[in-house]
Structure 1
Amino acid sequence: MAIFLGILLTIFLFNTNIFAAQLIPQFGITDEEIRMLVLRLRNEDINKAKHNQIVVNYQGHTTARDTKDNAKAPLFSTVDSSLLRKPTYEKYIALMDNYHFEVGKIEQSDNEERREIVDFIDAIFETRPWKILIEFLQKKKHPYAKDVPNFKRWIKQLWFDDYSRAKGVPDTSGFEHVFVGESKNGEIAGLHSWLRFYQLERNHTAELDYQGFIIKRFDILAMIRFIWKGAMKRTGGFFIGTSPEFEMALYTFCFLSRRGFKTCDFEIDGCPFSVTSYDMSQHNKVFVGTVYPSPGQLNEQCRNANRKQG
């Protein structure tokens, strides 16, 4: 009996230690370090949209349960075309036609599509946000970032390798879910990219119907409702005007430091935001399951900062 109780105690302590370890910030990254690093990423995102390069037309307010179309015009009134000609934007846009709309259909990449992924990863790794991110993770001795080639391999697995969301077939990836969007059971899943949303509004007007905003943070972040190819996104959010390299760096950083059990909290242009992320584990590999942003409480610093910009 004593032996049995001892075994139970050992199992309990072992499981408790695992649970406690999961509560520790991953790789000792503190909340303050997150705030400071995101501030650096934002400040050195030289490819982000400048003031007045993007004009947003929010129109009517809506809710996730609303059934009316409270926005007759597109969300984006104007986007400066020079943004789209930046190398990382061009390589990001080249990836948009590589994926099936519905989950449950096997994703099959040809050599050109695989080359486009490598080109995009190579391009973002040359930017300041990614150099800053790698330097920080190396100081933290994160095993993914021991050197650049190793980190590129991990980024490809986390974001671009296929796994299954339905029917047990390789039908999705972290990048497809977060940056492209997909349909599952008549609902839109993912699609947390302003650039993707703008491309759909511009090139596929008959397929995409913006129906109003739920929460807006000036021209920094939008929480919206829309219909795409007949499938509804009741609540979707994305930053506005951020570069592809900034978004990939931010979401990767939050995924590595706060996924699953805690949000990644920071400020952009005086406004508080958080990023939530979850992983997906299949076949002894870990992938990005989802990553998405949310607005924090609107404060005076946020109002004043954006009043000055206006």
Structure 2
Amino acid sequence: MARGPNVNEELSKILNELWKLDSNRLKPGKDYTISLQGKAGFVEYGSNNARDRARAPLFSYVNEDKLRSLETYAHFINLLDNYEMSTGKAEMVTSEELMEERLFLDSIMETEVMKSAHKYLVSKGQSSTDPDRFKTQLYDIWFRLYHRDRSGGADSCGFEHVFVGETRQGREIMGFHNWVQFYLQEKHGNVDYKGYRARDKKDMPDEDDHVLNLQFSWKGLVKPVGSSFIGVSPEFEVALFTIVFLISNDKVTNVIVQVDEYHLEVVVYRYGRSIGTSYPKLLTSNNRPL
């Protein structure tokens, strides 16, 4: 495996172990197909004027039977409609939604990906050996509500920001780094894919890449550049971002890793005991600068 400068070797090793264990990862060209189309142009943050370089959706096909039959995906999808889109509006969590959160955590805890992540975190002194205490730790990191907009009640959590997405003052998209949410919102006409984002004027990504930088609009607001894993399981993302969150007490953690063929920068923002945001930034793929 090629290594670039500043690659965190130890973190790359555990993340590659998780990658190999991710049996629920969907296969490009078989379980889903994407259409990259044109390279998106530059858009300033706060501007909702973006040229559409992609006439067709990003996702041409996704095997929805697989999404429904794989337990972690099914429980993950049940969580996506639990949140207020706009910050500043307090979240009201129902008993049904609490149950959905518990079922999701229970399901990912049964996967080899999360068992391996838990074992690693125990070895680093960052988690208890007790699975129930680890599950409580995951809840605090991902589902505990906090104030993102100080004008109202507790209005956000790590899961909502990273996987669902939210908006601020009706002007900008925040978070929204998950491919399943992107596909479902695109299917329902709420997301309009504008094109891929490449670094400089270098080669375009491949349509079987599992990490993409892209531009899109969501309910009329434009995300100038977003980044997301494509096809990976919910448990892989939760495990990866949880590990990066727990290995550092810094408010912002940026680490360079090599996962499979992808040279990535993983970014995690801390909000107390919880994740403020987290996402991968694709640096290179197949040893090609993007």
Is this a same-fold pair by TM over 0.5?
A: yes
Does the alignment pair 1:221 with 2:211?
A: yes
Write the letter of the residue equivalent to 1:114. Answer: L
* Structure 1 residue corresponding to 2:186, chosen from 201, 205, 216: 201
Q: Which one is further off, 292-301 or 116-125?
A: 292-301
Tell me by how many angstroms 1:168 deviates: 4.3
| Segments ≥4 residues shifted beyond 4 Å | none
Say which SS state the counterpart of residue 39 (structure 2) adopts.
coil
Name 1:47's counterpart in structure 2.
24
Does the alignment pair 1:293 with 2:270?
A: no
Tell me by how many angstroms 1:217 deviates: 3.8
Write the letter of the residue equivalent to 2:27. Answer: K
Contact 2:261–2:285 (CA under 8 A) maintained in structure 1: no
Provide, for residues 228-281 of structure 1, a one-character-per-residue CA deviation record: whole Å limited to 9, x for no partner.
111221111101110011111011111112454542322233221121001113
CA, structure 1 residues 133+298, in 2 after alignment: closer, same or farther (shift >3 Å)?
closer
* Structure 2 residue corresponding to 1:153, chosen from 122, 136, 143: 136
Write the letter of the residue equivalent to 1:288. Answer: I
CA, structure 1 residues 300+173, in 2 after alignment: closer, same or farther (shift >3 Å)?
closer
Contact 1:107–1:170 (CA under 8 A) maintained in structure 2: yes
Name 2:240's counterpart in structure 1.
250
Write the letter of the residue equivalent to 1:70. Answer: R
Q: Aligned partners of 2:237, 2:285: CA distance in 1, in Å?
A: 22
Write the letter of the residue equivalent to 1:97. Answer: D
Tell me by how many angstroms 1:227 deviates: 1.1
Write the letter of the residue equivalent to 1:234. Answer: P
Say which SS state the counterpart of residue 156 (structure 2) adopts.
coil
TM-score, normalisation: structure 2: 0.87
Contact 1:280–1:289 (CA under 8 A) maintained in structure 2: yes
Provide, for residues 17-57 of structure 1, a one-character-per-residue CA deviation record: whole Å limited to 9, x for no partner.
xxxxxxxxxxxxx9322010000000010000124222110
Say which SS state the counterpart of residue 73 (structure 1) adopts.
coil
Tell me by how many angstroms 1:146 deviates: 3.5
Name 1:277's counterpart in structure 2.
268
Name 1:306's counterpart in structure 2.
none
Name 1:238's counterpart in structure 2.
228
Larger radius of gyration between Structure 1 and Structure 2:
1
Q: Aligned partners of 2:146, 2:120: CA distance in 1, in Å?
A: 29
Name 2:61's counterpart in structure 1.
78
CA, structure 1 residues 168+79, in 2 after alignment: closer, same or farther (shift >3 Å)?
same
Say which SS state the counterpart of residue 284 (structure 2) adopts.
coil
Q: Aligned partners of 2:97, 2:245: CA distance in 1, in Å?
A: 25
* Structure 2 residue corresponding to 1:62, chosen from 30, 40, 50: 40
* Structure 1 residue corresponding to 2:175, chosen from 159, 175, 190: 190
Does the alignment pair 1:180 with 2:164?
A: yes
Total equivalences in the alignment? 267
Contact 2:37–2:53 (CA under 8 A) maintained in structure 1: yes
Name 1:23's counterpart in structure 2.
none
Structure with greater proportional helix content: 1
Q: Aligned partners of 2:289, 2:103: CA distance in 1, in Å?
A: 37
Q: Aligned partners of 2:61, 2:104: CA distance in 1, in Å?
A: 25
Identity of aligned residues (%): 36
Tell me by how many angstroms 1:76 deviates: 0.5
Name 1:99's counterpart in structure 2.
83
Q: Which one is further off, 49-58 or 125-134?
A: 49-58
Tell me by how many angstroms 1:150 deviates: 0.9
CA, structure 1 residues 298+120, in 2 after alignment: closer, same or farther (shift >3 Å)?
closer
Tell me by how many angstroms 1:222 deviates: 1.4
Does the alignment pair 1:263 with 2:254?
A: yes
Write the letter of the residue equivalent to 1:269. Answer: D
Question: Which stretches in structure 2 are left out of the alignment for 5+ residues?
Answer: 1-6, 44-48, 199-203
Tell me by how many angstroms 1:299 deviates: 5.2
TM-score, normalisation: structure 1: 0.81
RMSD: 1.9
Contact 1:41–1:246 (CA under 8 A) maintained in structure 2: yes
